[in-house]
Each structure stands twice: as C-alpha cells, then as structure tokens.
C-alpha cells in the first residue's frame, strides 16, 4: 500500500514522503495512529493544502520534546528482581516496569515511548532508548539487580555475577584437601578401613 507520511517514521521516511509499505503495517499501525494517509489523489491534495500547518505542528512538538529530553536523558533507574545463581531473572523486565520506574523519578514518559530491542531477562545494566518524538530520542540506563547493594556495585562498574562466581569457586577450593590423591576423596570411614587393613597385615 502507498501512503503519505504525516510525521517522520524511522526506516521509512519524513513528513510528506510517499512510501510503499505492507498493508498490515499501514492498517494496523500507521493509519490508526495518524502517522500516515493513504496515497490517493484526494489525500495528496488535502496534504499539500495543509502541509505548512502539519510541518508547523510537528516543529512545535519536536521543540517540546527537546525541552522534555533534558529531564529524561541519562536517567538511571534501579529494578530489584529475583534471579537464579546464573543471573537469569524469574520472568523478565517489561516496558511497564521501566515506565513506572522512570515516572517515579519524574521523567513523564509513556509506554509508547520506550524502545526495547529485546526483553531484559538477566541481571545487569541495560541501555534503553526513549523516543520522545519521531525526531527526538534519548538513552536511559536500567539497572537490574537482586538488592540495592548489588545495584550500587553494578553502577560502579562491578560485574556482580562474575564476583559471585569467583566467591562460589573460592568456597569450593577451600574445602579441597591438597594431600589427597587425584580423584580420591578422603573420608573417616576410608581412614578407618585403611588402619584396620594395616593391623591385619601386621
């Protein structure tokens, strides 16, 4: 389907561009969200007649978004989640979770503005894009941790999962007996059996 764009759409074009898109994308997203018009003769005339007004409104919205961006850009929000020992979350972090955390910090964003490339399913710090306007986007950081203390360590650049893995292996090596033969685990029962065998031989 050929359409006329009423605003800039990423990877498609700018205001006034006539582009061809899949019918489903046009019907389900672009047309109902007033981002485009069907590219027929009547709509082309309407668009050209209103082009100056549409471009002026867009410039006004872009200017408001640029002012808003200073209140959002660079924010870091902390989300506390339970996870397995490997750092996999029980579930995932949703767009709604991010929006609620940002708005609690005074960002004033909506779900439609959050661009999440893939679901967040592990602990760590993630860059998330916030599209305040088709031509204005900023980045925020989402710090997913199991506790506020771990979130603080992650924000300082500490790899909590790597540190936790080192702790686990350190705990294992401390229990290792350096005098044991390779592949042999010394137990009290084995020691007693060895002693009894020695007595029999004597």
Give the percent of the chain with pLDDT over 90: 70
Averaged over 65-89, what is the pLDDT? Answer: 92
- Enumerate the domain spans of the chain: 1-70, 75-164
Tens digit of pLDDT for each residue in 130-183? 999 999 999 999 999 999 999 999 888 888 777 666 655 554 444 555 555 555
Q: What confidence tens digit (pLDDT) does each residue in 112-127 have?
A: 999 998 889 999 999 9
Q: Quick one: 1-70 is in which CATH superfamily? A: Ribosomal protein L9, N-terminal domain (3.40.5.10)
Architecture of the domain made up of 75-164: Roll (3.10)
Q: Is the pLDDT of residue 79 over 70?
A: yes
d(CA 102, CA 76): 8
Convert the pLDDT of each residue in 44-61 to its tens digit.
999 999 999 999 999 999
Mean pLDDT over each residue of the chain, to the nearest integer: 85
Of 2, 113, 3, 5, nearest in space to 55 by CA = 5
């Amino acid at each position: 389907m050929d359409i006329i764009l009423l605003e800039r759409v990423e990877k498609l074009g700018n205001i006034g561009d006539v582009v061809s898109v899949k019918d489903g994308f046009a019907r389900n997203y672009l047309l109902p969200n007033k981002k485009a018009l069907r590219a027929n003769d009547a709509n082309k005339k309407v668009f050209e007649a209103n082009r100056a007004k549409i471009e002026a409104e867009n410039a006004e919205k872009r200017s408001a978004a640029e002012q808003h961006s200073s209140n959002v850009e660079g924010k870091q929000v902390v989300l506390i989640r339970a996870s397995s020992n490997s750092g996999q979350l029980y579930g995932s972090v949703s767009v709604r979770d991010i929006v609620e955390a940002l708005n609690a910090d005074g960002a004033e964003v909506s779900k439609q503005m959050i661009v999440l490339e893939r679901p967040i399913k592990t602990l760590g710090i993630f860059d998330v894009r916030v599209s305040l306007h088709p031509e204005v986007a900023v980045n925020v950081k989402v710090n997913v941790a199991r506790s506020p203390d771990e979130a603080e360590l992650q924000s300082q650049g500490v790899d909590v999962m790597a540190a936790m893995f080192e702790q686990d292996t350190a705990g294992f090596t401390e229990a290792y007996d350096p005098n044991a033969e390779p592949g042999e685990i010394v137990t009290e029962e084995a020691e007693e059996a060895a002693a009894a065998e020695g007595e029999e031989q004597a």
